[in-house]
Amino acid sequence: MQAVWGDAFVEEANLTQSIFVLRRTLGERAAENRYIATIPGRGYSFVCSVKEVSACIEEAPEDTIVNSDESQNDSPAITYLTARAKWAIAASAFVLALILAMVCISPKVARSLNNRGVQHQQKGEIGAAIEDYHWALRFGPDNAAVHYDLGDAYEDIPDYDRALEQYQRAIDLDPGFYPAYNNLSRLYILRRKDYGAALRLLDRALSMEPQEASVKYTIHKNYGWANLELGQLFQAEENLKLAAGLQPERGSAHCLLAKTLTAEGKLTDTAPEWELCLAYSGQGEVEPEWRNEAQENLAKSADSAQVMPARHN
Please give the pLDDT value at position 34.
77
- Compute the distance between CA of residue 290 and CA of residue 178 in angstroms, rounded to an integer: 24
276-to-202, 238, 244, 250, 251 alpha-carbon distances in Å:
25, 18, 10, 9, 7
What tens-digit pLDDT sequence spans the chain (313 residues)? 566 666 555 555 556 666 766 777 777 765 677 788 877 767 778 887 777 766 544 444 544 444 444 444 444 444 445 666 667 777 777 777 666 655 566 788 889 999 999 999 999 999 999 999 999 999 889 999 999 999 999 999 999 999 999 999 999 999 988 889 989 999 999 999 999 999 999 999 999 888 889 999 999 999 999 999 999 999 999 999 999 999 999 999 999 999 999 999 998 889 999 999 999 999 988 999 999 999 998 888 776 666 555 444 4
pTM for this prediction:
0.61
Complete DSSP assignment for 165-218? HHHHHHHHH-TT-HHHHHHHHHHHHHTS--HHHHHHHHHHHHHT----HHHHHH
Please give the pLDDT value at position 10.
56
- Compute the distance between CA of residue 167 and CA of residue 180 in angstroms, rounded to an integer: 5
List of residues 6+ apart from 286 with CB closer than 8 A: 251, 252, 255, 277, 280
- Nearest C-alpha neighbor of 173 from the set 145, 136, 211: 145
Packing angle, helices 160-173 and 144-156, rounded to 10: 170
Contact 67, 80 (CB under 8 A): yes
Please give the pLDDT value at position 78.
41
Give pairs for 198-204: CB < 8 Å, separation 24+. Answer: 198/222, 198/225, 198/226, 199/223, 199/226, 199/227, 202/226, 204/175
- Compute the distance between CA of residue 23 and CA of residue 53 in angstroms, rounded to an integer: 24
The residue type of 273 is E
- Compute the distance between CA of residue 271 and CA of residue 50 in angstroms, rounded to an integer: 83
Please give the pLDDT value at position 57.
44
Could you tell me the residue ranges of all domains in the chain? Answer: 2-97
SS (H, E, C) 256-297: HHHHHHHHHCCHHHHHHHHHHHHHCCCCCCCCHHHHHHHHHH
